[in-house]
C-alpha cells in the first residue's frame, strides 16, 4: 500500500462518468514571441526565441487554397509543432487579383476546401479565415470590378467556413480575420488594375459590425489583430496622436490595439483570446518606405512592444478585458515583400535579433484570466487520504503543492471554484513536472451536465496551464475538479492549482416552428420537416403545423418533403439560444402549375387583367387596354387580351411571380402567345426573371425570347427550363411595336401559362459488395440504397462488371431488375480468380427518371486453400486466402516470414500493393494475396493480413545441408508453380520456413556472406541480407536466423545475425 495509512469504510458508491484520454494536441505556446512566415522556415528567428529561455514561439502561416471542394491537399506543419512552436495558419481564397475570400456564390465551395485543407494539415490547430476585408485590395472582383465586402458579407463567409472546419476538427480554433488598422472610410478608386467601391466604415466600426454579425449566427474561438506603430521608436509606441476617422477620433499608432479592444470588440466577446498575427512599425524595417524613407528599425523598439503588451495583459486579467496571447512580427521572408527582417537588404537584422534576445529573456507569458484555485486556497480540500506538502519543484504554482503516491483511487483532493456567472469554462491544471510523476493522473471535472475524467501526463508540460477541456458550469460553487491517486503504479500524482476560464455563455436549446401548406393555403399533413446538421426531424400535424424542439443554437438548412410533392429547401435558418424561429414551407404537387390562373379560367379584374396577374407598361408606350377574351383561345374558354384599338405605339404586357422556389432546382416556364398588328415592327416575347420581381417589365434581369416563327395570328409556343437562384421566379408576357404608319389595331393574347418544378431523378446513396475479397467463383451478392424524397423508388436495376462502369459488364451479369428490393445475389456466373468485380446499380422513380449509375468499391475473387502447401501448388498470379498461420520472422515494412501453425510449411510475404503491419513473432494470422516468385522462391505479395490469436513462431534449428530440401511439386511454367528445392538440400522441401543455422564465415560478397558448419556445400551456405544490415567479419562464427530461399538464407533484421566468437 506504498506505506500509506488507509481508512476502510463500507460504502456503496455509484459513479457515472466518461473517462477520456486528453487529445494529442499541443498546448498553445505560453510566451508572447512570434514571427510571420512559415515558408521559408524562420528557423533562425525561432532559435533566438528558444535559446533565450522560452519553450517555443508563434508562427503566422499564410496560404491561398482556392475554392475547389474536391481539392484535398494540405500543408504539414508538424516540424514546427514538434519543436514546441504554435502555428496560426491564415487561410485565404487568394490574393490581390482574386480576393482573400471568394464571391458569395462560392462561399460553400470555399468552406469545403478550407475543411479539406485543415483535415490534411497536421501540426496546426488554429486557423484564421481571410484577411483585412476593410481594404479594397482584398475584395474579390466581378467583371473587372472589386465590389465592397461588408462586415456582414465576411461574417456570412466566416460562418460557413467555421462550420465546415468544426465538422472535421471540432477541437481546433477558428479565428476571424484581422481588420487593417487605419483603413477606411475611403472613396472609390483603383487597385490591382481594377476599379473598386468605396468603404463607408472606419477600422473599428468594421470590426465591431463584423463581430456582431458573426456572434449572431454561432460560435467564434478567437480574434486576430494587426497592430502597428508609426515608426520604430519608444515614442512611436506610446504616441497618443489621434486621427479623425469618419467622425470618430482614433489612435494613429501602436495604441490602435486599445481601440481594437475598446471600440472594435463587443464586450460580450471579451472572453475570447486575441492573437496579434502581424506587427511592425508600419514602415520598412530596413528604411526607404515611400511614405517615410528615413524611418527604420531603432534599438529597443521590440523590447518595449512586448513590455507594453505584457503590462496590458497583467491589467486586463484583473478587469475582465481580453488577453493577447502572441505578437508575431511581420515578417521574416527575405523576398516576399519589402518588410523583410531576413536577407542582405536589411542592414538592421542583427540589431533586431539582438533586441529579440533581450525581449525573450524577460519571458513574458500571456496570463489566463479566470478563477484560480491553488492548493493553499479555501476552495481546495482533501476529501480523503493523506496528501503531503511539497516545495522543492521550481515550476510549481505559488508557494507549494500537494503530492501522493499512486494507489487505487481511495485518496482524493478537490478544487471548488466560486464562479461569478454561468457559462462554458475551459478548465486548466498546473503541476510541477518530474520523471517520477504519473503519466495518467486522473482529473475528474464535475459540471452542469455530469462528469468527465481526463488522464494527464504529469511527466511533461510542468510550470504551465494545461487544458482539461471546456465544460458547462452554473454560477457559484456547484462544480469542481477532483484528482485521485488511481494512476500509474509506483509513481506520484501532483495536486497544485486549477484554473476556470470563462469561454462563452451557456447555450439554451432553441425551437423551430412553422406550417407547410399548398399555394392555396391548404395545409399538408405528414410532411417530413428536417434540419441539418444535427439530424432534427419531425412530421406535420393535420393543420400543417410542425415543431422542432431542443435544437442546438446555430445555422441550419431545412427541408420539407413528402412523396408526390416537390420538396422545398431553405438555407441559413438561424436558431438563437433559447429562442424560437418561424419557418414556413410551400409545396406543390409534382408537375402541377405553380402560377395562379395560368389558364386564365379563374376570372378577371375590373381593369381587364386576369386575376393574380400584374399589368406592366413601358414608360414610352401609349396606354394599353386589357380584356378578358373568349376568341381566340389556345385551350379552355378564356385568354388574356391586351393592346390598342389604334395604330399608336405600345409596349407592355402581364407578369406573375411564384414563391416557394428552391434554389438549385429546375423549373419549366411554359406558355403561348399570339398577336395581330398592321405595324411591321410588331413582335411578341415571353421571358422569366430569376429574381422574382414584377415591377419592371424591362428590367435587365429578365431573360426574354422573341417569338416570330409562324408570324401573326398563330399561337406561338415558349418553353424554357431554368435553374432557380432564389426563392421566387416571375414570368413575363410582352407585346409591342413602334409607330411606323400602320392603319389598324394591335392586339396580343396569352394563354396556358405554366411554371412547374421538374421532378428530380433518384439519387443513389450507396452500393456495397461483401467486402474486399470473396471465395465464390459462381455468385456475387450486393446491397444498395437510393433516395427520392419526392416520388419514391419504383425500381432498381443492377449488373456485375469488371469495371466501375458499364464497359465491363460480364456474361450473365447484365442489367436485371430487382424490383424495389435493396439487395440481391447473382448466381451461375463464371468469375475469374484475381479479378475485381463491381456491383452497378441504378434506380428509377415513377416518372421514369433514372439515377446515375453507382458502383461498389469492388470485390476480388480469391481461392480459399486449406494450407500453405496447397497454396504453393497454385501458379504465380493466382490469388489465395489461407489461415491458421503464425508470424515466424518479423521483418521490414515490405517483407516478413510466416508459417503454418504446425511448422511444416512457410512462405515469404511481401507488401506489394497491399499492407504489411508490424507484427511480433508468434502472432496468429490469416493471409490473402497473390502468388508470385522472386527468383526461384515462391512468395505471397499484395497481401492483406487479419490478426487472430497467437501461436508458436520460434525458428527451426537446421544444419546447413538440411536447408532447402528437394523440389515440391515444382513446375517451371511459365507461370511457375510448386517450389524448387536447393542444389545441396536434403529431405523434404522447407523453402519459406524460418530457420536458425550456425557456421563460420568463409566468404564475403555484395549483400551476401557465406558460412560453413562443416557440411560439404561448395562455397558455403549463402546468407543474403537486406539493405541496412552490417555483415559479420570473415572467420567470425555466427548464429543466423532467416527465411530459407531457393538460393540461400534471407536475413531481414540486424538482430538475426549474432556473432558467437
* Domains and their CATH numbers in the chain: 18-22+370-504 (2.60.120.260), 33-360 (3.20.20), 510-589 (2.60.40.1120), 614-757 (2.60.120.260), 766-854 (2.60.40.10), 863-1059 (no CATH)
Q: Average pLDDT for consecutive 10-residue bins of the chain (1061 residues)?
A: 28 26 57 96 96 93 93 95 96 93 93 96 97 96 93 96 94 96 95 94 97 92 97 96 96 97 91 95 96 96 97 82 95 95 96 96 86 93 96 92 95 94 90 96 96 96 91 94 96 95 83 90 90 93 95 90 82 87 88 88 93 92 93 93 87 93 90 90 93 92 84 89 93 88 84 89 94 96 91 92 96 95 95 97 89 96 95 96 94 92 93 92 94 95 92 91 92 93 90 95 95 89 94 95 96 94 73
What's the CA gap between 1024 and 1027, in Å, rounded? Answer: 10
Q: Contact 537/530 with Cβ under 8 angstroms?
A: yes
Phi first, then psi: give them for residue 380, nearest 5 degrees. Answer: -95, 140
Closest alpha carbon to 71 in 114, 108, 105: 114
User: Cell numbers of 374, please?
Assistant: 491553488
CA angle 81, 42, 73 (to 5 degrees): 55
Looking up cell 399548398, which residue turns up? 518
pLDDT at 5: 27
Phi/psi at 160 (5° precision): -65, -40
User: If you write DSSP's letter for every residue of 20-63 in order, what string do you get?
Assistant: EEPPS-PPPPSB-EEEE-SSS--HHHHHHHHTTT-S--EEEEEE
Neighbour count for residue 910 (Cβ, 10 Å): 20
Q: What is the pLDDT of residue 26?
A: 52
Q: What does the alpha-carbon distance between residue 660 and residue 583 come to, in Å, rounded to a whole number?
A: 12
Question: Which strand ranges, in their side-by-side order, compose the sheet holding 823-826?
Answer: 763-768, 780-787, 823-826
Backbone dihedral angles phi then psi of residue 46, each to the nearest 5 degrees: -65, -35
**Residue 443 class from Cβ within 10 Å (0-12 exposed, 13-18 middle, 19+ buried)?**
buried
Q: Give 470's contacts (C-beta < 8 A, 6+ positions apart).
A: 424, 425, 426, 427, 503
Q: What gap in Å lies between CA 205 and CA 1010, rounded to an integer? A: 82
pLDDT score recorded for residue 548: 97
Q: How many CB atoms lie within 10 A of CB 442?
A: 20
Task: Tell me what pLDDT residue 137 has.
Answer: 96
* Sign of the dihedral through C-alpha 192, 195, 201, 205: negative
Q: Rounded distance, CA 565 to CA 2, Å? A: 73
HEC profile for 457-518?
A: CCCCCCCCCEEEEEEEECCECCCEEEEECCCCCCCEEEECEEEEEEEECCCCCEEEEEEEEC
Residue 27 φ then ψ, to 5°: -70, 155
Query: In whole angstroms, what is the distance from residue 985 CA to residue 966 CA?
Result: 6
Distance CA 870, CA 882 (A): 9
Angle at the Cα of 903 (from 900 to 907), degrees rounded to 5?
55
- pLDDT, residue 25, reads 43
Q: How far apart are CA 1036 and CA 573, in angstroms?
A: 79
Residue 150 DSSP one-character state: -
Burial environment of residue 24 by CB neighbours within 10 A (0 to 12, 13 to 18, 19 or more): exposed
pLDDT, position 789: 82
3-state secondary structure of 705: strand
Amino acid at each position: 500500500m506504498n506505506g500509506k495509512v488507509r481508512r476502510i469504510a463500507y460504502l456503496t458508491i455509484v459513479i457515472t462518468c466518461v473517462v477520456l484520454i486528453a487529445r494529442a494536441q499541443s498546448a498553445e505556446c505560453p510566451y508572447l514571441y512570434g514571427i510571420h512566415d512559415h515558408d521559408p522556415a524562420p528557423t533562425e528567428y525561432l532559435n533566438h526565441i528558444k535559446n533565450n529561455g522560452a519553450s517555443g514561439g508563434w508562427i503566422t502561416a499564410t496560404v491561398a487554397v482556392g475554392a475547389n471542394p474536391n481539392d484535398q491537399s494540405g500543408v504539414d506543419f508538424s516540424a514546427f509543432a514538434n519543436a514546441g512552436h504554435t502555428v496560426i495558419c491564415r487561410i485565404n481564397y487568394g490574393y490581390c487579383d482574386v480576393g482573400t475570400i471568394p464571391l458569395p456564390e462560392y462561399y460553400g465551395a470555399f468552406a469545403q476546401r478550407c475543411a479539406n485543407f485543415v483535415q490534411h494539415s497536421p501540426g496546426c490547430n488554429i486557423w484564421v479565415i481571410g484577411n483585412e476585408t476593410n481594404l479594397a485590395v482584398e475584395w474579390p472582383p466581378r467583371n473587372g470590378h472589386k465590389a465592397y465586402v461588408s462586415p456582414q458579407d465576411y461574417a456570412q463567409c466566416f460562418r460557413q467556413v467555421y462550420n465546415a472546419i468544426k465538422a472535421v476538427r471540432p477541437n481546433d480554433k477558428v479565428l476571424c480575420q484581422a481588420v487593417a488598422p487605419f483603413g477606411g472610410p475611403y472613396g472609390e478608386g483603383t487597385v490591382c488594375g481594377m476599379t473598386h467601391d468605396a468603404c463607408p466604415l472606419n477600422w473599428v466600426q468594421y470590426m465591431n459590425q463584423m463581430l456582431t454579425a458573426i456572434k449572431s449566427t454561432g460560435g467564434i474561438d478567437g480574434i486576430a489583430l494587426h497592430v502597428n506603430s508609426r515608426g520604430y521608436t519608444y515614442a512611436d509606441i506610446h504616441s497618443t496622436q489621434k486621427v479623425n476617422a469618419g467622425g470618430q477620433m482614433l489612435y494613429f499608432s501602436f495604441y490602435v490595439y486599445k481601440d481594437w479592444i475598446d471600440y472594435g470588440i463587443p464586450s460580450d466577446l471579451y472572453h475570447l483570446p486575441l492573437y496579434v498575427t502581424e506587427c511592425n512599425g508600419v514602415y520598412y524595417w530596413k528604411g526607404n518606405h515611400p511614405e517615410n524613407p528615413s524611418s527604420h528599425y531603432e534599438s529597443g523598439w521590440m523590447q518595449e512592444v512586448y513590455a507594453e503588451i505584457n503590462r496590458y495583459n497583467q491589467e486586463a486579467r484583473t478587469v475582465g478585458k481580453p488577453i493577447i496571447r502572441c505578437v508575431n512580427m511581420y515578417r521574416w521572408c527575405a523576398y516576399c515583400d519589402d518588410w523583410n527582417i531576413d536577407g542582405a537588404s536589411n542592414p538592421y537584422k542583427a540589431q533586431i535579433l539582438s533586441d529579440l534576445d533581450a525581449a525573450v529573456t524577460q519571458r513574458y507569458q500571456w496570463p489566463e484570466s479566470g478563477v484560480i484555485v491553488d492548493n493553499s486556497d479555501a476552495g481546495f480540500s482533501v476529501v480523503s487520504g493523506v496528501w503531503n506538502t511539497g516545495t522543492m519543484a521550481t515550476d510549481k504554482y505559488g508557494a507549494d503543492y500537494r503530492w501522493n503516491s499512486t494507489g487505487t483511487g481511495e485518496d482524493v483532493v478537490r478544487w471548488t471554484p466560486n464562479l461569478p456567472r454561468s457559462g462554458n469554462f475551459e478548465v486548466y491544471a498546473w503541476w510541477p513536472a518530474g520523471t517520477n510523476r504519473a503519466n495518467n493522473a486522473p482529473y475528474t471535472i464535475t459540471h452542469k451536465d455530469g462528469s468527465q475524467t481526463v488522464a494527464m501526463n504529469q511527466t511533461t508540460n510542468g510550470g504551465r496551464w494545461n487544458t482539461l477541456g471546456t465544460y458547462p458550469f452554473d454560477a457559484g460553487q456547484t462544480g469542481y475538479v477532483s484528482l485521485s491517486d488511481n494512476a500509474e503504479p509506483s509513481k506520484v500524482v501532483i495536486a497544485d492549482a486549477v484554473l476556470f476560464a470563462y469561454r462563452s455563455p451557456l447555450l439554451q436549446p432553441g425551437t423551430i416552428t412553422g406550417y407547410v401548406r399548398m399555394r392555396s393555403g391548404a395545409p399538408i399533413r405528414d410532411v417530413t420537416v428536417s434540419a441539418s446538421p444535427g439530424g432534427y426531424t419531425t412530421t406535420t400535424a393535420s393543420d400543417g403545423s410542425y415543431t422542432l424542439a431542443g435544437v442546438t443554437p446555430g445555422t441550419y438548412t431545412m427541408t420539407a418533403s413528402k412523396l408526390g410533392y416537390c420538396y422545398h429547401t431553405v438555407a441559413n435558418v438561424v436558431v438563437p439560444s433559447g429562442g424560437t424561429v418561424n419557418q414556413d414551407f410551400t409545396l406543390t404537387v409534382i408537375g402541377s402549375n405553380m402560377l395562379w390562373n395560368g389558364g386564365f379560367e379563374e376570372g378577371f379584374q375590373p381593369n381587364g387583367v386576369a386575376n393574380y396577374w400584374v399589368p406592366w407598361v413601358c414608360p414610352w408606350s401609349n396606354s394599353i387596354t386589357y380584356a378578358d377574351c373568349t376568341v381566340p383561345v389556345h385551350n379552355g374558354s378564356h385568354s388574356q387580351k391586351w393592346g390598342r384599338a389604334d395604330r399608336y405605339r405600345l409596349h407592355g404586357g402581364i407578369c406573375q411571380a411564384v414563391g416557394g422556389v428552391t434554389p438549385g432546382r429546375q423549373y419549366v416556364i411554359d406558355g403561348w402567345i399570339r398577336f395581330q398588328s398592321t405595324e411591321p415592327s410588331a413582335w411578341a416575347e415571353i421571358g422569366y426573371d430569376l429574381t422574382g420581381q414584377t415591377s419592371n417589365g424591362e428590367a435587365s434581369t429578365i431573360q426574354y425570347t422573341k417569338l416570330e416563327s409562324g408570324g401573326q395570328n398563330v399561337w406561338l409556343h415558349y418553353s424554357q427550363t431554368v435553374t432557380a437562384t432564389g426563392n421566387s421566379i416571375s414570368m413575363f408576357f410582352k407585346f409591342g411595336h413602334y409607330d411606323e404608319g400602320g392603319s389598324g389595331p394591335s392586339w396580343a393574347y396569352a394563354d396556358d401559362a405554366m411554371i412547374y418544378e421538374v421532378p428530380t431523378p433518384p439519387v443513389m446513396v450507396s452500393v456495397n459488395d461483401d467486402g474486399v475479397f470473396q471465395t465464390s467463383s459462381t455468385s456475387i451478392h450486393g446491397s444498395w440504397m437510393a433516395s427520392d424524397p419526392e416520388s419514391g423508388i419504383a425500381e432498381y436495376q443492377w449488373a456485375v462488371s469488371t469495371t466501375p462502369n458499364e464497359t465491363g459488364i460480364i456474361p450473365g451479369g447484365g442489367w436485371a431488375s430487382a424490383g424495389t428490393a435493396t439487395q440481391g445475389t447473382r448466381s451461375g456466373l463464371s468469375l475469374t480468380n484475381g479479378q475485381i468485380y463491381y456491383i452497378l446499380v441504378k434506380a428509377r422513380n415513377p416518372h421514369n427518371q433514372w439515377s446515375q449509375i453507382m458502383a461498389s468499391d469492388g470485390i476480388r475473387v480469391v481461392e480459399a486453400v486449406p494450407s500453405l502447401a496447397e497454396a504453393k501448388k497454385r501458379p504465380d498470379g493466382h490469388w489465395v486466402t489461407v489461415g491458421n498461420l503464425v508470424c515466424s520472422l518479423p521483418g521490414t515494412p515490405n517483407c516478413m516470414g510466416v508459417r503454418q501453425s504446425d511448422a511444416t510449411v512457410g512462405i515469404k510475404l511481401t507488401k506489394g500493393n497491399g499492407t504489411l503491419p508490424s507484427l511480433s513473432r508468434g502472432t496468429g494470422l490469416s493471409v490473402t494475396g497473390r502468388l508470385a516468385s522472386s527468383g526461384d522462391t515462391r512468395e505471397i505479395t499484395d497481401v492483406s493480413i487479419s490478426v487472430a490469436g497467437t501461436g508458436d513462431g520460434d525458428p527451426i534449428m537446421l544444419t546447413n545441408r538440411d536447408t532447402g530440401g528437394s523440389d515440391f511439386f515444382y513446375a517451371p511454367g511459365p507461370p511457375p508453380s510448386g517450389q524448387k528445392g536447393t542444389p545441396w538440400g536434403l529431405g523434404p522441401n522447407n523453402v519459406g520456413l524460418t530457420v536458425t543455422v550456425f557456421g563460420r564465415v568463409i566468404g564475403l560478397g555484395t549483400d551476401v556472406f557465406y558460412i560453413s558448419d562443416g557440411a560439404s556445400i561448395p562455397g558455403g551456405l549463402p546468407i543474403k541480407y537486406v539493405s541496412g544490415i552490417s555483415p559479420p567479419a570473415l572467420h567470425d562464427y555466427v548464429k543466423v536466423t532467416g527465411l530459407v530461399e531457393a538460393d540461400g538464407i534471407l536475413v531481414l533484421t540486424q538482430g538475426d545475425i549474432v556473432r558467437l566468437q
